[in-house]
Amino acid sequence: MVTSLATDRSLSPYLCFSRAEWSALRNGARLPIEVDELDAMVSLNDTVSIEDVADIYMPLVRLLQLYYDASQQLYSVTNVFLGNPSQSRVPYVIGIAGSVAVGKSSTARILQAILSRLHDGIAVELITTDGFLYPNRVLQERGIMHRKGFPESYDRRKLIHFMADVKSGVPRLEVPIYSHLIYDIVPDKCLLIDRPDILIVEGLNVLQRGGRPARAPQVFVSDYFDFSIYVDADEQHLQQWYIERFLRLRETAFRDPSSYFRRYAELSVDEAVATARRIWREINYVNLKQNIEPTRERADLILEKGVRHTLQQLYLRKL
């Protein structure tokens, strides 16, 4: 949680907003999505109400629109200064980070939908860094299959090159597709990203920086972000949400014959809870504490969730 940032507000790099304070910044914008559409955007076991959209996401989209417009003006005047007034604009990139089971994917999809619908003619694309995970074959060869989701399980060079191409205005970029059903990269399939106005990049470790000194300057995914969001929640909530999601998957996706986790579908409730708790403790909690949570204070905005995924407080980095 981010309570340490708010202990002395004069020293905090963030402005803190209650839900009511943030909601007041909506400025009367209309809701562009309906309840049934929202349900389709929300991930399994996540909870987002239409009130959350009105109170939290609408003010956030208003802020992002203002930042986007300002960035386009800055890009234009910079090109004039450099003598390239006709150069094409490059995508405005929004990064979204946070723990497993916190609801990053829901946040990304909702933002994509609202940003797309409130402004005709603005193309908003969404990718997840799951597509840049090494295939299971490579993870097994390297003996790190149990560390999928940790920084070393990603093809970071490929991801960095992709982000560099995005910010260079390269057209028709291919992003590998990852399937949570087969728990692997889908062979011979990709998502095409063709210079959208806004690109949302969602992933566990997208805000991570290097932890060890390097002889040569290092480049990180977050270097290409124009705005970054960290979705936060108490560790106890995260564990509970992960267990609840595991139990729901046991009744649904795990029963698919092609599921990588088919073996878990036959577990009893008690066995499933014990298994989920062990996976959380040995893998997801370790990744959270070592790699994900330390990046929280690098975000431009922290969305803090409470019980039942309720968005209750926000921290916006001071300019």
* DSSP SS3 for 29: coil
* DSSP SS3 for 36: helix
DSSP state of 133: B
Mean pLDDT of the chain: 93
Pick the closest to residue 124 from 192, 58, 172, 196 (CA basis): 196
Average pLDDT in the 94-121 region? 95
Other residues' Cβ atoms within 10 Å of the Cβ of residue 226: 18
Report pLDDT for 92: 97
Pick the closest to residue 91 from 203, 227, 188, 216 (CA basis): 227
pLDDT per residue as tens digits for the range 108-122: 999 999 999 988 789
Report pLDDT for 119: 81
Pairing between strand 227-233 and 92-98? parallel
CA distances from 89 to 14, 98, 116, 164 (A): 30, 29, 18, 14
Average pLDDT in the 262-269 region? 96
Lowest model confidence (mean pLDDT) among 22-31, 242-251, 288-297:
22-31
Q: Is residue 30 over pLDDT 90?
A: no
Proportion of the chain above pLDDT 90, given as a percent: 84
Helices 235-251, 269-279: inter-axial angle, 10-degree rounding = 130
- pTM for this one? 0.94
Report pLDDT for 11: 80
Report pLDDT for 278: 98
Average pLDDT in the 70-92 region? 86
pLDDT per residue as tens digits for the range 148-172: 999 999 999 999 999 999 999 999 9
Lowest model confidence (mean pLDDT) among 9-18, 181-190, 293-302:
9-18
Q: What is the 3-state secondary structure (H, E, C) of 143-173?
A: CCHHHECEHHHECHHHHHHHHHHHHCCCCCE
pLDDT tier at 284, thresholds 50, 70, 90: very high
Average pLDDT in the 267-271 region? 97
pLDDT per residue as tens digits for the range 188-233: 999 999 999 999 999 999 998 865 555 667 899 999 999 999 999 9
Question: Which domains does the chain show, CATH number per domain?
Answer: 3-313 (3.40.50.300)
Lowest model confidence (mean pLDDT) among 118-132, 165-179, 203-217, 272-286:
203-217
Q: How far apart are the first and last CA of the chain?
A: 22
Instruction: Please say whether the beta carbons of 272 and 39 come within 8 A.
Output: no
Q: Is residue 55 over pLDDT 80?
A: yes
Q: Is residue 261 over pLDDT 80?
A: yes
Q: Is residue 70 over pLDDT 80?
A: yes
Report pLDDT for 89: 76
